[in-house]
Structure 1
Amino acid sequence: MTVSLEDCPAPGVDVCLVNMPLSGVERPSIALGLLKALLTDAGISSKVLYPSLWFLEYAGIKNYRALESIRPEEAVVDWLFGAAAFPDFHPDHDRFLQRLDERNPRRGRKSLDRDQLLSLREQMVDFIDWAACKILSRNPRIVGCTSTFQQHVASLALLRRVRELAPDVVTIIGGANCESVMGRTTHKQFPWVDFVVSGEADGFMVPLVERMLMKGRNLGEEDVPFGVFAPVHRTVGYPSTSTGDGTPRAVTDDIRALPLPDYDDYFEELSQSLYAPQIIPGLPMEFSRGCWWGAKSHCTFCGLNGGTMSYRSKPAETVVDDMVSLSERYQVRRIEAVDNILDTGYFDKVMPRLVEEGHDFSIFFEVKSNMKKKQIETLAAAGVRWIQPGIESLDSRVLRLMRKGCTAAQNLQLLKWSRQLGVRVSWSLLCGFPGEEDSWYAEMAEWLPLISHLQPGAAVTLRFDRYSPYFTNPSSYGLRLTPSELYRYAYPLPDSALQNQVYFFEDEVARDAGAVTAIDRPGLAAARQAIGTWFRAWTQGALPMLSMVEEDGTLIVDDTRACAVERQHRISGLAHTILKLADDALPEVQLRGRLTEMGCDEPSIDRSVDELIDRRLIVRLDSRLISLPLWRPHRLLPAPSAFPGGYFMQGEDAVEQLLAAI
């Protein structure tokens, strides 16, 4: 079947903006919501469509959740849509599935098996055909997709089918998967895509769409904004720049005047979904772009922000009003800030207003982990119930390799204060950094059981992302990076093109050497085991607790950790003083200096410190003494499934809920 625009003299909508699988069904697309708001303000009709939600119904909950749990660098979702996107490409499926299992030996009991994956792949051809027909039934003149991580091949498949069914419809794609050289490669390799946007489109999307509505795909070079690849470039050649990887990337210098995103279409679609009762939506909101820390010291593993770390934030005076406006419009109190890092000016200008006005929001922010206790108290009081602080390790030597600008002691203190104040923390223990030593993990493994009452993370092997310092300068770290192995089964591209197409990479040397074994790295194996034990302690009934209260000059400490030497400690005298001073993680030299000024002698200090270490109530880290007990009372944490950005209620057991949260 072929649909022509001549058969539709009065198109129902100018632009269909499409959010393909796999992306979270529990939240709308902020990118497409923002573009719709801009187009509406300019008098251009548009509709945001969510095949991501349709896919949930098409594939079913179990299949959807199983796919969601697979690491994006395994390219499984891309491979699933490959038959629809590239019908003439026939990769070795047996080898792909074999390598998938070998690379993920601990896949859970609810993982999809070989036959299920092959069956799903076959079904995606029909799904794409059905989705394309459903989109074209709205008679759009332009169809555009947003593409991040696992959405790319699905988006290519959809746009290909749109071109086959309606040759006059203009196609466009943008998003993180299209930045710089990835966007240029997409445009070069897949001719059914008319336009590719590299970078931030909100600064020029309206005039670009206006020209496309007037001229179709026949725009001249003078009509094409910087950061857009158009059909004309396939003839005259592609533009280049003298910065970054030499490929244009658009940046919106000022985000202060951007409108609030329009999520009407998402909530309309959600209301019609079979799974609406199980989807608890959140509201993505943007208050800044870039990273002020990355502009100063780019973390070695971070590939976010494409070609620029330039930090731009919205005025603090507008933030609360925007939260209230969007929340009231959709009657949703859960807000997910999509920023890479919180603007520190908001501590003084935004959080106090949230407290004063008594807004009952549940908010998520990404933050830096070296916050002070007072700052965490400010966040908690303002309704920030969940944070992602970029902890990444509990060893300062590994953190220095990352250029994180924080220490293990600061990370530990943040975990302690967040548990005290009822703020849930998402974090991971990253491992596999060039230059790390196994003995560091062995040392870490020895004291990790002491903090089992704090929120656990997950041990995750380092991934090499495009735009990270590891990627841009691999030789200085002894790396030879190649696209993640399984991409070759998802794209019909030669190695040179694949190198420029994908986002995730791996070290060829490490891959050729095979998986690291426990014998090779016993310290890392011990740390992973400690993390696993810690995690299980949080999923098997009552949470471990180490807490204290002061009564008549004595600290009464209750201890239910597995490593506890006593269930209750009564700490008095000099040990009492040390335990309280160590609550602020003072440098040991400074702590001892204070005690000396109080008239304490060194032998007595040594004995009391040793006593507290033997009781496992303090830990020595980064030349500091850190008190581990929480103060009673402490606030309860949000439920592990209750992420402010939205969540999916499907009767999962507690273990799976916590896995999804961390």
Structure 2
Amino acid sequence: MILSIPKAKANLDVALINMPFASFRQPSFALGILKSALKDEFNVKVFDFNVTFSEKIGVDLYDKISTWHIVDLLGDRLFAEMLYGNNIPTFEEYVDQVLIGNLKEHKAPYDKPGVDAHLSDELLKVQNSAGSFLEEISKVVARERPKIAAFTSMFHQQVASLALARRIKEVLPDTTVVFGGANCKGAMGLEFLAKHPFVDAICLGEGDTSFKKFVGLCLEGFDLGGLSKVDGIVTPMNLKSEGEKFSDHYRHVLEMDMGSVPIPDYDDFANIYRKRRSDSRVKPRLFFEMSRGCYWGQKKRCIFCGQSSETLVFRKKNRGRIVSEVRTLASKYEGFSLCASDESADKEMLEALADALSAFEKKPEIIYLQVRPDIDFGLLEKLSACGLKRLEVGIESLSSRVLSIIGKGVSVLQNIAFLKGCREAKIMPVWNFLWGFPGEPVEAYENMAKLVPLLTHLHPPNYAGQFRLDRFSPCFEDPSGYGIKDVSPYPSYSYVYPFDDESVSNLASFFTFEYQLPQNCAEYTHELMENIFFWKEIHPKSSLCFSRDEEGLIIDRRSGEGEWHIKLDPFTLAVCKACSKPVTIEAIALSLSEKGFVEDEDKIKQSIINLIKYGMVLKEGEMLLSLVTEEEVMP
């Protein structure tokens, strides 16, 4: 469709574009940084078209789509016909095979919503509205006549971004179209560029410096040949001749000096929010950044981690910069919740965050922060007092043997102690329970099935199921070395992209696989799965804690069938409290002696046997951990 646009001198250098189905509750972190880096030298604006579309179809339906099981590619499929027409299977086929799960690879996990006729009709209406939406926002961009249109492309928004990019190129052929983000890494980005000729360039890695240089050269009049020489930028001029295999040996750029990365500018999104403040369902949030990479991952990668190895290099801002950035954003965008973009925050970063928040009488709410389960528990309480409500944590399993196979570097008792610490600090931990790792021991799952009923007072996993094979993960990069074979993109990709198998494989982020040696996950995880269902059901009314009103009384509500009162003698109570964190029996004895108990080790062991019998203490090897929480609950 040819749009009628006013003949006016270009008044915008760079249009930064965020498309559906990125969350409408937050601005793009990447575009916020890019705007901040560019705004002093260029005329730049962020277009949050994801917000526009959420208002068009309704926030509840938008939420359902944007949080749908990611391997189904629902957000991409809803815009695919606007880009590829009838060259892909029909939407009805997609719903039947992928969303409903008649393809075995897309069989619904326990947390995947069902698809009834009503939802199917709603989704079809969304797809049918995509054309008018694209026409509307094309006009918005065309009126600005940007010299550069830059798209951030994360999951669920690749195809919508491409559909708009093509329309922009048709109307403004002199506008340079560039893409960046997770969908542009490695072979994905190169294939993506080769298959979509209306895209002029992609940014392969972190674009803080390279994109600014690209913008400067582009506005000076450099052609694609000149722009292709910018480190981290790939144009069609870089691609090898047809028939040659794509190479990943392009220049990736990492920002090593984190102090030079600007504080994000979210003004465009904030202006939108101020206009729609009346919708109480929309609690806005924004991201800040303390580091990039992963301090554990650069030592030992988890075998399913989908972060590319070069981006795992750990780099962090100093304490002063963290404090300054958090305080600046929290003050400037008052009323927004805060989210940390970090892969994993270390102790120094968490202390700086607590310092930054301590200056506010009314603490900004922190709803996303990712940590390892072996962090200092004292920091949990400190951060809770500073507004922390929710933590993302990489627990993944409750078996030390499985954790060792994964490469997590923690034990089951450390994981459980973390969940216990979160309950005591009134912080909600968000975590996944994963299985299906090649070579994992079946007996580990029998043991975990028995363990779960003892943990119902602690927060259950958000997701439980087989691990996902992601591009860039060690399992993907060396499948035979990790005991898997027949790696193939999820079938959903063929319902979105009309390309040959090799091209689709290059575009894919998520893959299916088979085991080299037979491994029946569904069979050996069945009892564990059933117990996790029970855990989720019973958790809201479950507790295991010391009584506030009666010394030595423990209240146990973990069974879902009333409550049990267990009275401990002073010595056994002291033993129980001495293993509030994972400790050895020698450490317990030392703690008891400091409290005036002079008893031999045999008596300590007998107390531990009794506590284990009642499911109040766990033992693994030489380590012991009490499950009883320190919280005020009436008997």
Taking structure 1 as the reference length, the TM-score comes to: 0.86
For residues 556 and 277 of structure 1, what CA distance do their matches in structure 2 show? 43
For residues 351 and 56 of structure 1, what CA distance do their matches in structure 2 show? 34
Shift of 1:61: 3.0
For residues 622 and 506 of structure 2, what CA distance do their matches in structure 1 show? 45
In the alignment, which residue of structure 2 is the partner of 1:54?
52
In the alignment, which residue of structure 2 is the partner of 1:651?
none
Shift of 1:545: 1.7
For residues 140 and 564 of structure 1, what CA distance do their matches in structure 2 show? 65
In the alignment, which residue of structure 1 is the partner of 2:136?
130
In the alignment, which residue of structure 1 is the partner of 2:533?
532
Counterpart of 2:396 (choices 380, 392, 397) is: 392
Q: Does 1:560 align with 2:561?
A: no
Structure-2 change in CA distance of 1:184 and 1:427 (3 Å): same
Say whether the 8 Å CA contact 2:147–2:176 is kept in structure 1: yes
Shift of 1:438: 2.7
Structure-2 change in CA distance of 1:605 and 1:509 (3 Å): closer
Comparing 383-392 with 497-506, greater Cα deviation is found at 383-392
Q: Secondary structure at the match of 1:405?
A: coil
- The within-5 A match list for 1:182-197 is 182-197=188-203
Q: Secondary structure at the match of 2:249?
A: coil
Counterpart of 2:342 (choices 339, 342, 361) is: 339
Counterpart of 1:279 (choices 266, 276, 282) is: 282
Say whether the 8 Å CA contact 2:458–2:539 is kept in structure 1: no
Structure-2 change in CA distance of 1:113 and 1:313 (3 Å): same
Structure-2 change in CA distance of 1:275 and 1:352 (3 Å): closer
Comparing 576-585 with 230-239, greater Cα deviation is found at 230-239
Comparing 72-81 with 115-124, greater Cα deviation is found at 115-124
Shift of 1:143: 1.2
Shift of 1:370: 0.9
Structure-2 change in CA distance of 1:349 and 1:139 (3 Å): closer
Q: Does 1:11 align with 2:14?
A: no
Comparing 563-572 with 138-147, greater Cα deviation is found at 563-572
Q: Does 1:434 align with 2:438?
A: yes
For residues 563 and 123 of structure 2, what CA distance do their matches in structure 1 show? 51
Counterpart of 1:78 (choices 73, 76, 92) is: 76
Q: Secondary structure at the match of 2:138?
A: helix
Deviations 1:171-199 (A, max 9, x none): 11111110122111111111011111111
In the alignment, which residue of structure 2 is the partner of 1:36?
35
In the alignment, which residue of structure 2 is the partner of 1:507?
513
Q: Secondary structure at the match of 1:304?
A: coil
Say whether the 8 Å CA contact 2:547–2:554 is kept in structure 1: yes
Comparing 157-166 with 57-66, greater Cα deviation is found at 57-66
Shift of 1:12: 2.7
**How high is the sequence identity, in percent, across the aligned residues?**
29
- The within-5 A match list for 1:233-632 is 233=238, 245-273=248-276, 276-305=279-308, 307-332=310-335, 334-352=337-355, 354-355=357-358, 360-363=363-366, 364-457=368-461, 458-480=463-485, 481-508=487-514, 518=522, 520-521=523-524, 524-539=525-540, 543-549=541-547, 554-562=551-559, 567-588=564-585, 591=588, 600=599, 604-632=603-631
Shift of 1:439: 2.2
For residues 239 and 339 of structure 1, what CA distance do their matches in structure 2 show? 37
For residues 157 and 209 of structure 2, what CA distance do their matches in structure 1 show? 23
Shift of 1:118: 3.3
For residues 537 and 27 of structure 1, what CA distance do their matches in structure 2 show? 33
Structure 1: 5+ residue stretches without partners: 635-662
Say whether the 8 Å CA contact 2:456–2:542 is kept in structure 1: yes
Shift of 1:526: 1.4
Deviations 1:88-111 (A, max 9, x none): 523254443222222244543576
Matched residue type, 1:54: T
Structure-2 change in CA distance of 1:347 and 1:610 (3 Å): same
Comparing 183-192 with 81-90, greater Cα deviation is found at 81-90
In the alignment, which residue of structure 1 is the partner of 2:43?
45
Comparing 290-299 with 589-598, greater Cα deviation is found at 589-598
For residues 57 and 43 of structure 2, what CA distance do their matches in structure 1 show? 31
Q: Secondary structure at the match of 1:435?
A: coil
Comparing 194-203 with 99-108, greater Cα deviation is found at 99-108
In the alignment, which residue of structure 1 is the partner of 2:123?
117
Say whether the 8 Å CA contact 2:294–2:312 is kept in structure 1: yes
For residues 239 and 228 of structure 2, what CA distance do their matches in structure 1 show? 15
Say whether the 8 Å CA contact 1:240–1:248 is kept in structure 2: no
Matched residue type, 1:568: H
For residues 39 and 360 of structure 2, what CA distance do their matches in structure 1 show? 32
In the alignment, which residue of structure 2 is the partner of 1:659?
none
Say whether the 8 Å CA contact 2:49–2:137 is kept in structure 1: yes
In the alignment, which residue of structure 1 is the partner of 2:157?
151
Structure-2 change in CA distance of 1:266 and 1:279 (3 Å): same
For residues 496 and 263 of structure 1, what CA distance do their matches in structure 2 show? 39
Q: Larger relative CO (CA 8 A, sep 6+): 1 or 2?
A: 1
Deviations 1:324-360 (A, max 9, x none): 2112212135211101111332355553464476561
Structure-2 change in CA distance of 1:284 and 1:239 (3 Å): farther
Say whether the 8 Å CA contact 1:180–1:198 is kept in structure 2: yes
Matched residue type, 2:256: D
Comparing 67-76 with 269-278, greater Cα deviation is found at 269-278
For residues 315 and 142 of structure 2, what CA distance do their matches in structure 1 show? 37
Say whether the 8 Å CA contact 1:211–1:223 is kept in structure 2: no
Structure-2 change in CA distance of 1:154 and 1:353 (3 Å): closer
Counterpart of 1:167 (choices 169, 173, 177) is: 173
Matched residue type, 2:412: A
For residues 157 and 396 of structure 1, what CA distance do their matches in structure 2 show? 47
Comparing 401-410 with 369-378, greater Cα deviation is found at 369-378
For residues 499 and 206 of structure 1, what CA distance do their matches in structure 2 show? 31
Shift of 1:395: 1.0
Shift of 1:55: 1.4
Q: Secondary structure at the match of 1:561?
A: coil
Say whether the 8 Å CA contact 2:18–2:49 is kept in structure 1: yes
Deviations 1:145-203 (A, max 9, x none): 10011111111111011122222222111111101221111111110111111111111
Structure-2 change in CA distance of 1:60 and 1:547 (3 Å): same
Say whether the 8 Å CA contact 2:351–2:379 is kept in structure 1: no
For residues 65 and 505 of structure 1, what CA distance do their matches in structure 2 show? 25
Say whether the 8 Å CA contact 1:565–1:615 is kept in structure 2: no
Matched residue type, 1:580: K
For residues 343 and 603 of structure 1, what CA distance do their matches in structure 2 show? 39
Structure-2 change in CA distance of 1:186 and 1:353 (3 Å): closer
Comparing 609-618 with 491-500, greater Cα deviation is found at 609-618
For residues 354 and 69 of structure 1, what CA distance do their matches in structure 2 show? 30
Q: Secondary structure at the match of 1:11?
A: coil
Q: Secondary structure at the match of 1:351?
A: helix
Structure-2 change in CA distance of 1:239 and 1:253 (3 Å): farther
Structure 2: 5+ residue stretches without partners: none
Comparing 380-389 with 557-566, greater Cα deviation is found at 557-566
Matched residue type, 1:372: D
In the alignment, which residue of structure 1 is the partner of 2:67?
69
Say whether the 8 Å CA contact 1:393–1:430 is kept in structure 2: yes
Structure-2 change in CA distance of 1:351 and 1:468 (3 Å): same
Shift of 1:238: 12
Say whether the 8 Å CA contact 2:88–2:496 is kept in structure 1: no
Shift of 1:275: 7.0
Deviations 1:503-546 (A, max 9, x none): 11121459x99x9675x32xx1111111111112245xxx3221
